[in-house]
Amino acid sequence: MIKPGEKRKTIYGAGDEYYYFATGKETDGQYFFFEGVIPPGGGPPPHIQTREEEAFYILEGEITFWVDDEQVVAPKGTYINVPKGVKHNFKNQTTEVGRILFFFAPAGIERMFDELVEDEEMANNPDNLLESLNAVGQKYGVTFL
């Protein structure tokens, strides 16, 4: 259980802040659940996950999603499910901060997030960002496009 105000693991990536609620360690590998704070312009590059279903719930703001090249503008209260194997990404195209709940099933991909934020080569060489993302992502069944 995480009570209001309790410290949660925080990582930073793609210009966003992510706060872990539950990892596979706490859920017997069944799911990974976290919150993202997405500033204007924030969001990851297009990618495909081959191992996890991913769901999003918009808590605040408006986030634009692309799911298999279909664009969806998602305001507060929107739920989006992305099956494994489907290309997707999102971006905050507004001037307001957005907040999203993320749910991955099964768990495991959180290790990729941890590894990505610890990758010094990526941090020090942004010109090869896609190459660095894929070097880590391939270990977790994720391809960045």
The one-character DSSP state at 94 is S
* 7-16, 32-41, 97-106, 129-138: range with lowest mean pLDDT: 7-16
Distance of alpha carbon 57 from alpha carbon 79, whole angstroms? 5
Is 117 part of any domain?
no
The residues, ordered by sequence, that sit 6+ positions from 44 with a Cβ below 8 Å of its Cβ are 13, 14, 16, 89, 90, 144
Q: State the chain's maximal CA–CA distance in angstroms.
A: 40
Would you state the pLDDT for residue 2? 80
Q: Are the C-beta atoms of residues 40 and 30 closer than 8 Å to each other?
A: no
The domain in which residue 97 lies consists of: 10-110
Would you state the pLDDT for residue 62? 98
- Give the pLDDT confidence of 37-80 residue by residue, as tens digits: 999 999 999 999 999 999 999 999 999 999 998 999 999 999 99
Is 18 part of any domain?
yes
Is 143 part of any domain?
no
Q: Are the C-beta atoms of residues 34 and 17 closer than 8 Å to each other?
A: no
- At 122, the pLDDT band (50, 70, 90 cuts) reads low
Q: Is the pLDDT of residue 142 over 70?
A: yes
Q: Is the pLDDT of residue 13 over 90?
A: no
Is 123 part of any domain?
no
Q: Is the pLDDT of residue 119 over 70?
A: no
23: domain CATH number is 2.60.120.10
- Which residues, in sequence order, are bridge partners of residue 102? 34, 56
Is 51 part of any domain?
yes
Instruction: State the total domains in the chain.
Output: 1
- Give the pLDDT confidence of 69-115 residue by residue, as tens digits: 899 999 999 999 999 999 999 999 999 999 999 999 999 999 999 98
